[in-house]
């Protein structure tokens, strides 16, 4: 947009309120009012005349897209080194996916997102499986202890 404005207004670095109104397709009074209220950032009054810098006008017409926020990584319980490495790889893949997406390489970004999600899913699955195995072992130990107690109690009653 800045290139177009420079071509339309050669040699100009600032536009008056009337010229800005032509670019914005608004009435000059409205543009002056918006400059006065601060709705057009960068506008300044010089010698009683409102002026708008071309770069600020171009930014107002076509704002630069902001980079998307990177979502926080998932919290994986435990302090094992492997889990920390998994989280670091997850963060790395998500970061580069966001970079690729901002640069317009959606295909690479989708691939990195998928790789990060697969890594996360496999780690969560492994963690949940290990936890289920531990709980199953604890329950089996409790059950065997209660069976032993019941059996001993039955023998005492038989005597």
Structure tokens at 96: 């580069």
Can you give the pTM of this predicted structure? 0.43
pLDDT in tens, the chain (159 residues): 788 888 888 888 999 999 999 999 999 999 999 999 999 989 999 899 999 999 999 998 988 888 777 777 666 555 555 555 556 677 788 888 888 888 888 888 888 888 888 888 888 888 889 999 999 999 988 888 877 665 565 554 444
What is the spatial distance between Cα 158 and Cα 110, in angstroms, rounded to a whole number? 70
pLDDT at position 76: 55
């Amino acid at each position: 947009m800045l290139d177009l404005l420079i071509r339309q207004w050669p040699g100009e670095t600032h536009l008056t309120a009337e010229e800005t109104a032509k670019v914005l397709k608004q009435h000059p009074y409205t543009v002056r009012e918006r400059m006065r209220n601060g709705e057009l950032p960068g506008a300044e009054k010089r010698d009683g005349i409102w002026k708008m810098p071309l770069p600020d006008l171009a930014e107002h017409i076509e704002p630069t897209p902001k980079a998307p926020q990177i979502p926080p990584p998932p919290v994986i319980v435990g302090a094992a080194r492997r889990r920390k490495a998994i989280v670091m790889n997850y963060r790395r893949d998500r970061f580069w996916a966001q970079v690729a997406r901002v640069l317009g390489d959606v295909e690479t970004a989708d691939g990195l997102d998928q790789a990060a999600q697969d890594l996360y899913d496999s780690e969560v699955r492994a963690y949940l499986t290990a936890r289920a195995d531990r709980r199953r072992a604890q329950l089996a130990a409790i059950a065997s202890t209660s069976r032993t107690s019941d059996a001993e109690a039955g023998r005492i009653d038989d005597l």
